Amino acid sequence: MEYKKIEEWILNRLPFYQNNGAVAYNPGLNNIDKFINELNLSNNQLKFIHVGGTNGKGSTCSYISSILQESNYKVGTFTSPHYYDYRERIKINNHKIEKSYITSFIKDNKTIIEEIGLSFFELSFGLSLSYFKQNKVDYAIIEVGLGGRLDATNIINPILSVITNIGLDHTQFLGTTRAEIAAEKAGIIKEGVPVVIGEKDAETESVYRNRAKLNNAPIIFATEEGSHFKSDLKGNYQNMNIQTVVTALKQLRIKGITDLVIQEGLSRVSLNTNLMGRWQTLSEAPRVIVDVAHNKEGLRYIAAQLNDLTYTKLHLVMGFVKGRDVDELISLFPLNASYYLSTPNLDRGLPIQDLKDVLREKDCSFNYFESVSIAFEASKAAAFSEDLILVCGSTFVVAEVLSYIKK
C-alpha cells in the first residue's frame, strides 16, 4: 500500500509530459544538475550509452541491452514511456526497479524534489542514476526523453552517443524543419565522444558533422554492415535500427561482443528486454498486430509493410495525441479499410469531436468509440478470420490495448 501511494504521487503530482503535454515540458539542465548534486552523483560515474533520435530509440536501446546481456554484462536501461507499470522505465537486465527502492528513494528525497520543482521525467532520471550506481551496472543505456540539447539526460558524459534518425515530431519544441530538429538532437554530441548516426541524408548530415567537428567527436554513419543480422522483432523498419546498433557496438569494441553474440542478442530481444509494441502479433485468425508508430515517418513504414501481408480486409484501431496532422496520417492507409477511432486515455488525447471535424470530408469507413478498449472489441467483432486488425497511431493506444488484453 505504501508503494501505491508513492507511485500515485509520482504519476499524479509531478508535471508529466506523457499525460499533460507542453505544460510539463521543462527544457534545461538546471533542475537535474541541482538534483544530481544533492544525490552526490556524478555525470561520468558509469559507462553511459546515450540514445537519441525521432524514431527507433526504444528498439535501439533494447537491442544494445540484449546483446550486452548475452555477453554476461550487467546492463541498466532508462527508457520511456511505460505501458503497464512505472517501473518498466528503469531496469537492470530486464528486472524492473524494486518497489522498495522507489519507496525509500522518494521518502529520503521528497523535500528536495519539491523544493527544486522537479518534473516527472527529471525525478525518474535521477532515480535511475541512483539505482544504477548502487547496483554497479557495467553499462547504463539512457534514452533521451525529448530532443537532446536541453533534455535532462544530457547531463551525462557517455562513452558513445547514438542518434537514430530525424522526423518532423514535437515541432512546437524542436523546430519546424529536419535541420532544426537535427540541431537539437545533435546537442547530445559531447567533447571527444564518438557519435553514431543511424540515417544519413542531405538535409541533416552537415548539421551532425559541424557539431561533431566543434566537439572533436568522431562521427560514424551507420552502414549496411549489419544487414545480414536478423532479429525477433519483425517490423521492416528494424533493419535500419539493427545497422545502427551493429555500427555502434563495432565502434565500442567491447570485450566478448562477437558476431555470434550480436546475432544471439538480436534474436532474443523480446526475451531479454520484454520490448513490446513493435510490429507485435498478438493473435491469429484474425491476425492482430500492434505497433507504436505515431508520426508520419513511423506510420509510413508500417503502412508499406501491409503490402507484405495477405488478408481480406484491414481493420485499423487508431487514436492520436493533440498536435498530430490526423488527415495526413490517415491518408497513409488504404481508403477501403475500416477505421475504429477513439481517444487515448490521457489529457493529451485528441478528442473524438476533433477527429470528426478533421475527417468529415474523407470518404472512408470511420467508426468512433468512447474508449480504446471498446474500439478494439468492435474491430474484433467485425473481423473475419482471414482479416487483419492493426492497432497504431499512438503509443498510448497500443498501451491501452495491451493492458486490456492482459486483464
Mean pLDDT taken over the chain: 92
Dihedral angle of Cα 379, 82, 120, 23, to the nearest 10 degrees: -30
118 shares its domain with 237: yes
Mean pLDDT over 393-405 rounds to 95
Q: Between 1 and 96, where is the model more confident?
A: 96
What does the pLDDT read at residue 288?
Answer: 98
Q: Select from 223, 254, 273 the last residue of a domain.
A: 273
* Structural domain boundaries enclosing 81: 2-273
pLDDT confidence tier of residue 173, bands split at 50, 70 and 90? low
Give the separation between CA 114 and CA 126, rounded to whole angstroms: 14
Q: How many domains does the chain have?
A: 2
- What is the structure's pLDDT at 171? 63
CB contact set of 171 (below 8 Å; sequence gap of 6+): 181
In this model, does residue 155 exceed pLDDT 70?
yes
User: Are 192 and 55 found together in one domain?
Assistant: yes
CB under 8 A, 24+ apart: contacts of 233-236: 233/59, 233/269, 233/270, 233/275, 233/278, 233/279, 234/278, 234/279, 234/281, 235/278, 235/279, 235/291, 235/301, 235/302, 235/305, 236/279, 236/301, 236/304, 236/305, 236/308
pTM above 0.75, yes or no: yes
Torsion of CA 296, 302, 303, 306, to 10 degrees: 180
- The answer to whether the CB of 399 falls within 8 A of the CB of 319 is no
What is residue 175's predicted lDDT score, i.e. its pLDDT? 76
CATH number for position 251:
3.40.1190.10
Q: Is the domain of 36 the same as that of 125?
A: yes
- Name the residue with cell 567491447: 254
- Range 106-122 average pLDDT: 94
What confidence score (pLDDT) does residue 169 get?
64
Q: How confident is the model at residue 14 (pLDDT cuts 50, 70, 90)?
A: low
Query: Which pLDDT band holds residue 407 (cuts at 50, 70, 90)?
Result: confident
What pLDDT sits at residue 222? 93
Task: In whole angstroms, give the CA distance from residue 226 to residue 220.
Answer: 14
Are 284 and 246 found together in one domain? no
> Whole-angstrom Cα distance, residue 339 to residue 365?
6
Residue 52 clears pLDDT 70, i.e. is over it: yes
Cβ distance 303 to 106 under 8 Å?
no
* Whether residues 81 and 228 fall in one domain: yes
How do residues 185-239 score in pLDDT, each as one tens digit?
999 999 999 999 999 888 999 999 999 999 999 999 997 666 789 999 998 999 9
- Asked if residue 56 and residue 7 are part of one domain, the reply reads yes
Among 273, 304, 331, the domain boundary falls at 273
Instruction: Say if residue 406's pLDDT is above 90.
Output: no
Q: How does pLDDT run across 248-301, given as a tens digit for each residue?
A: 999 998 989 999 999 999 999 999 999 999 999 999 999 999 999 999 999 999
Does 236 share its domain with 306?
A: no
Whole-number pLDDT of residue 338: 95
Per-residue pLDDT, averaged over 33-55, amounts to 91
How confident is the model over 310-369, as pLDDT tens digits? 999 999 999 999 988 999 999 999 989 999 999 999 888 999 999 898 888 888 889 999
60-107: pLDDT as tens digits: 999 999 999 999 999 999 999 999 899 999 999 999 999 999 999 999
Report pLDDT for 343: 96
CATH number at residue 298: 3.90.190.20
